[in-house]
Amino acid sequence: MTHIVLSAQVPETFANQRLDLVAAQLFPDYSRARLQTWIKEGQLKVNSSAARPRDTVYLGDELSIDIAASRARMGSAGYAHRYSV
C-alpha cells in the first residue's frame, strides 16, 4: 500500500511558532487547512507524539507525517508522493 511519508526538523528560523504555521512552511505541497486536519487526526506528529495545531514547536523538534494514500489527497499523477524534507 502506498503512503505519504514526510519528516522535517524545525530549524531556528521557525522555532517557537505554532505547529500549523511551521508545518505549512516545511511541507509547502499541502495547504495549511489540510495540515491542520492531519494534526487534529493525529497523522502529523511532533517528536512521535500527537499535538494540537496551536501548540508551539521548538528548535530541533521532529515533525512527521505517515498517511495511507487512500486518506490523503493524491498527487497530480494519481499517486501519493513519498519523500522526506
Whichever domain contains 29, its CATH number is: 3.10.290.10
Q: Considering the domain boundaries, does residue 41 fall inside one?
A: yes
Residue 65 host element (H or E): strand 62-68
Per-residue pLDDT at 67: 87
Range of the domain at 57: 3-71
Question: Per the domain annotation, does 28 fall within a domain?
Answer: yes
Q: Could you read off the pLDDT tens digit of each residue along the chain, which spans 85 residues?
A: 567 899 999 999 999 999 999 999 999 999 999 999 999 999 999 999 999 999 999 999 999 999 885 555 544 333 344 444 4
The tally of domains found in the chain comes to 1
- The answer to whether position 63 is within a domain reads yes
Helix axes 32-40, 19-26, angle to 10 degrees: 120
pTM score: 0.77
CA distance 46 to 27: 14
Distances in Å between the Cα of 36 and the Cα atoms of 14, 23, 60, 78 are 17, 9, 20, 23
**Is 77 contained in some domain?**
no
Is residue 66, in this structure, part of any structural domain at all?
Answer: yes
